[in-house]
Amino acid sequence: MTELKQFKIFYRAIRDVSKVVHSKTGTDLNEVLKLMVSNTTQGLNGKGAALCIFNKETASFTIRASYGIDEKYLALEPLAGKRFFSWPNKEYTPHIITDISNAPRVKYPKEAWDIGIRMMLDVPLMFDNLLFGFLRTYFEEKKVFSDDELDFMNAVTEQCACAINHDSKIKFHILQYNKLATKIDRLSSLGRMAAGIAHEINNPLTGILLYSSNLFKKASPDGPFKEGLEIIMQETQRCKVTIQGLLDFSREKKPEKVDANLNTVIEKSLALMDNEFLIKRIQIIKNLDPAIVNFQLDPNQIEQVLINLLLNAVHAIDGKGTIGIRSRMDTENNTVLIEIQDNGYGIPQDKLQKIFEPFYTTKSDGTGLGLSVSYGIIRNHQGTVNVLSEPGIGTLIRIELPIMDDTNEDNTKG
């Protein structure tokens, strides 16, 4: 084979593999791997080649693509098994097998000899310094490899490793997207169902509460019905609170934004919670940034979020403790930060990802809708919520809201 022809084959092989590495349209990886083993065989003037990749399910190496080798020999799985886990040299350079009868990495030497194989070349597939496969090329006669040929093999396997990793990442992101899409669809269906159930139940509950209230007023203070009617009224009211939570969750009411100051909203929320803090002997540590400017927000909805988070903090402390609330202007990112921190019992890491899911709650009397509604409100303000928590130490909730006026808010909608 002339050097020019060999160079063309080398170039074509690297080009084909490079396509999938840089492709944004999901080129078929299997086709590229087949091209790689065929072009490798032609480039090195070999008998055939096989690509072996680590299989997580079987915890062994198995053949992913092959060219020019008898199917009966490949059916023996000559490259499968744990014997290939360690590479023959620490440098992970190409490994040349000249004595196939006694080589530890040749599983079926007699069968290989019978189909005319006299020599093999193994080149590792590496990614992030980890061996996850190798390319084996078979030869009908022994030969000496030039530096160009070994450089070609290293280049091809490097590109191949990138292609496989690239394909795996694409498949992973597609899987994650499908899971997220399914979850969003499920939550959307749940919202519609919740709204329907809430409306159906709300009317009879209102009737029960009305009639029980009238009977309660007329009942004799010493009679047997007074206490029972009071329980009916309390439980009905509790049901109505849950129903209202379902309605709030399903509606995701659009914010009615006005020019307001966040510190003023925080002060009002704290004032409404003042009695709760006093009864529970909770100290409030307040640090509000006076540099915060007015911007577009819905004061009522933000107040709802703050009160809900403060109530959760009170519940987490369950006794004497402290709650810190801070605000800060971030001029660099044009945002305002709110932080609420408590020294309560904290949230375990395995439950931290669930706290914004509807109906998830750790309270015995909770509905599990408060944080879901709060998350929706912050999202509708184009903001973000992050939670840091450590069991036994406490929880920090950080809300970031963008500073928007009417002009740039319209731009975000466009």
The pTM of the full predicted model, rounded to 2 decimals, is 0.43
Q: Count Cα neighbours of 286 within 13 Å in the Cβ-side half-sphere.
A: 13
Size of the chain, expressed as the number of residues it contains: 414
User: What secondary structure does DSSP assign to 191-233, as a single string?
Assistant: HHHHHHHHHHHHHHHHHHHHHHHHHHHHS-TTSSSHHHHHHHH
Residue whose structure tokens are 């809300």: 399
Q: Return the pLDDT at 338.
A: 94
Task: Name the β-bridge partners of 286.
Answer: 325
Q: Return the pLDDT at 28.
A: 66
- Reported as a single tens digit per residue, the pLDDT across 131-147 is 888 999 999 999 898 88
Residues contacting residue 238 through CB under 8 Å, at least 6 positions apart? 365
CATH architecture of 177-251: Orthogonal Bundle (1.10)
Which three-class secondary structure state does DSSP give residue 280?
coil
Task: Tell me the fold of 258-413.
Answer: Heat Shock Protein 90 (3.30.565)
Ranges of residues in the chain with a pLDDT under 70 are: 1-28, 166-199, 241-242, 244-253, 352-370, 405-414
Residues contacting residue 282 through CB under 8 Å, at least 6 positions apart? 276, 314, 317, 320, 321, 322, 323
Q: Return the pLDDT at 236.
A: 83
Q: Are strands 48-55 and 60-67 parallel, antiparallel or unpaired?
A: antiparallel
Distance CA 137, CA 135 (A): 7
The H or E element that residue 304 is part of is helix 299-317
Sorted by where each begins, the domain ranges of the chain are 3-173, 177-251, 258-413
- For 367-388, give one letter per residue: b (16+ CB within 10 A) or e: bbbbbbbbbbbbeebebebeee
| Paired tokens of 239 | 């049901």
Distance CA 315, CA 317 (A): 6
| Paired tokens of 142 | 């022994």
Question: Among 401, 362, 358, which residue's Cα sits nearest to residue 379?
Answer: 401
Question: How many Cβ atoms from other residues are within 10 Å of residue 394's Cβ?
Answer: 22
CB distance 396 to 387 below 8 Å: yes
CATH architecture of 3-173: 2-Layer Sandwich (3.30)
Amino acid type, 315: H
Amino acid type, 40: T
Helices 370-380 and 299-317, interaxial angle, to 10°?
A: 140
Distance CA 162, CA 312 (A): 47
Amino acid type, 55: N
Question: How many Cβ atoms from other residues are within 10 Å of residue 231's Cβ?
Answer: 10
Residue whose structure tokens are 């083993």: 37
Distance CA 280, CA 320 (A): 6
Helices 3-22 and 29-43, interaxial angle, to 10°?
A: 160
User: What secondary structure does DSSP assign to 7-73, as a single string?
Assistant: HHHHHHHHHHHHHHHH-SS---HHHHHHHHHHHHHHHTT-SEEEEEEEETTTTEEEEEEEESS-HHH
Distance CA 357, CA 380 (A): 17
User: What secondary structure does DSSP assign to 348-403, as a single string?
Assistant: -HHHHTTTTSTT--S-TT--S-HHHHHHHHHHHTT-EEEEEEETTTEEEEEEEEE-
Q: Please tell me if the domain spanning 3-173 has the same topology as the one spanning 177-251.
A: no
- Starting at the edge strand found earlier in the chain, the sheet holding 95-97 runs 60-67, 48-55, 130-139, 119-127, 95-97
- Reported as a single tens digit per residue, the pLDDT across 37-89 is 888 888 888 999 998 888 877 778 888 889 999 989 988 888 887 778 889 88
